[in-house]
Amino acid sequence: MTNYHGQIHLSLAGFYDVLTDDGLMYRTRARGNFRKKGQTPLVGDFVTFTADNQIEGYILEIDSRRNSLVRPPVANIDQAVLVTAVRLPDFSTNLLDRQLVTLESDDIEPIIYFTKTDLLTEAELHQFEKLSDGYRRAGYQVILPQTAFDQASLTEIRNELDHGLNVVMGQTGAGKSTLLNHLDPELQLKTGEVSQALSRGKHTTRQVGLVSLGQGWVADTPGFSTFDVFKMPSRELTLYFREINQISKGCRFRGCQHLNEPGCAVKAAVADGEIMESRYDNYKLFYDLIEGRRPVYNKHDKKH
């Protein structure tokens, strides 16, 4: 057998399609020793594999990962588009900030893309414009289409996805597949209707795979409802709120946690409107979650 090197582009029912450096696709399986080591190959992994033909290969080794996510299960990610519905399912600053913290901790650049803006009243749209400005001040790229999937927003997101490995992630029913179908109608990804009763979507994506978009690759992945845990210790949480981390340089005490300490520049910035109150509230809530003082969070928080 001949050894090859490439990147996993599709994971489905124990099979892994690997695109080699010279542009050929091989279908492979993982050797049993990966299970013994507790390793699972992920889409995006660079691997060494052996094969006699393009339909019967075996993965021998997984290169070290730059980063990886559990939901969606993808490795070596450059950017993540957070597809965030303003309605159906209900918008939550809590969930959005959880996603941002997780991406920051994995050194993945987030892009926030709001969907279903056509369901908003003029007054509600104005509130989301203020919210978007707040996240932009925090250092994030935010795309708020004036009408759903308008050309200006699609052009902006196409330009961002034109390099590297990108994930499109968000709650089920938020419009991930619909967004990808607008970006490339040939994809014709299956879209699902949101369950009105539960305000949660039905899972319609059964596999994880990469699709070509311009010069980049995009993963269309299953949705999720929440993140359950944070990996970092509480004292490091401040590093993953961009604006809090930046403004904390002005705190009186080094290592300030921005809770009850005097001379806290972050609390002053919240009072002055420089930091959104919802961001600071979520920071405190996440801090307490990590500390174990509040094991349950209010996932229906809609403060913005």
CATH number where 19 lies? 2.40.50.140
Instruction: Return binding residues for Zn(2+).
Output: 251, 256, 258, 264
Whether 132 and 87 share a structural domain: yes
189 in the same domain as 85 = yes
Tell me the binding residues for GTP: 115-118, 170-178
Sign of the C-alpha dihedral computed for residues 144, 145, 151 and 152 taken in this order: negative
Per-residue pLDDT at 173: 86
pLDDT at 132: 98
Average pLDDT over residues 32-49: 91
In this predicted structure, what is the pLDDT of residue 184?
A: 81
Is 301 a member of any domain? no
27 lies in some domain:
yes
175 and 238 share one domain = no
Q: Say if residue 35's pLDDT is above 50.
A: yes
Retrieve residue 33's tokens: 């020793």
**Within 13 A of 224's CA, how many CA atoms are on the CB side?**
17
Task: Say what the pLDDT of residue 293 is.
Answer: 58
Q: Can you give the pLDDT at residue 252?
A: 97
Domain C-terminal end among 220, 247, 263: 220
Give the per-residue pLDDT at 189: 59
Q: Any idea what the CATH number is for the domain that residue 242 is in?
A: 1.10.40.50
* pLDDT-derived band at 229, boundaries 50, 70, 90: low
Query: pLDDT-based confidence at 206, cuts 50/70/90?
Result: low
Least reliable range by pLDDT among 74-88, 101-115, 136-150, 217-231: 217-231
84 shares its domain with 214:
yes
Give domain status of residue 53, yes or no: yes
What is the percentage of the chain residues whose pLDDT exceeds 90? 64
Q: How many domains does the chain have?
A: 3
Whether residues 210 and 277 fall in one domain? no
**pLDDT > 70? residue 296:** no
Whether residue 139 is found in the same domain as residue 197: yes
Range of the domain at 7: 2-62
**Residue stretches of the annotated binding site:** 115-118, 170-178, 251, 256, 258, 264
pLDDT recorded at residue 31? 86
Mean pLDDT over residues 105-122, rounded?
94
70-75: average pLDDT: 83
Within a domain: 229: no
User: Of 62, 96, 112, at which residue does a domain stop?
Assistant: 62
pLDDT tens digits for range 236-257: 999 999 999 999 999 999 999 9
**pTM, rounded to two decimals:** 0.82
Pair 86, 216 in one domain: yes
Tell me if 99 is assigned to some domain: yes
106 and 207 within one domain: yes
**One domain, residues 47 and 87:** no
Considering the domain architecture, whether residues 137 and 215 belong to the same structural domain is answered as: yes
Same domain, 171 and 208: yes
203 and 240, same domain (yes or no)? no
> Among 6-10, 58-62, 171-175, 268-272, whose mean pLDDT is lowest?
171-175
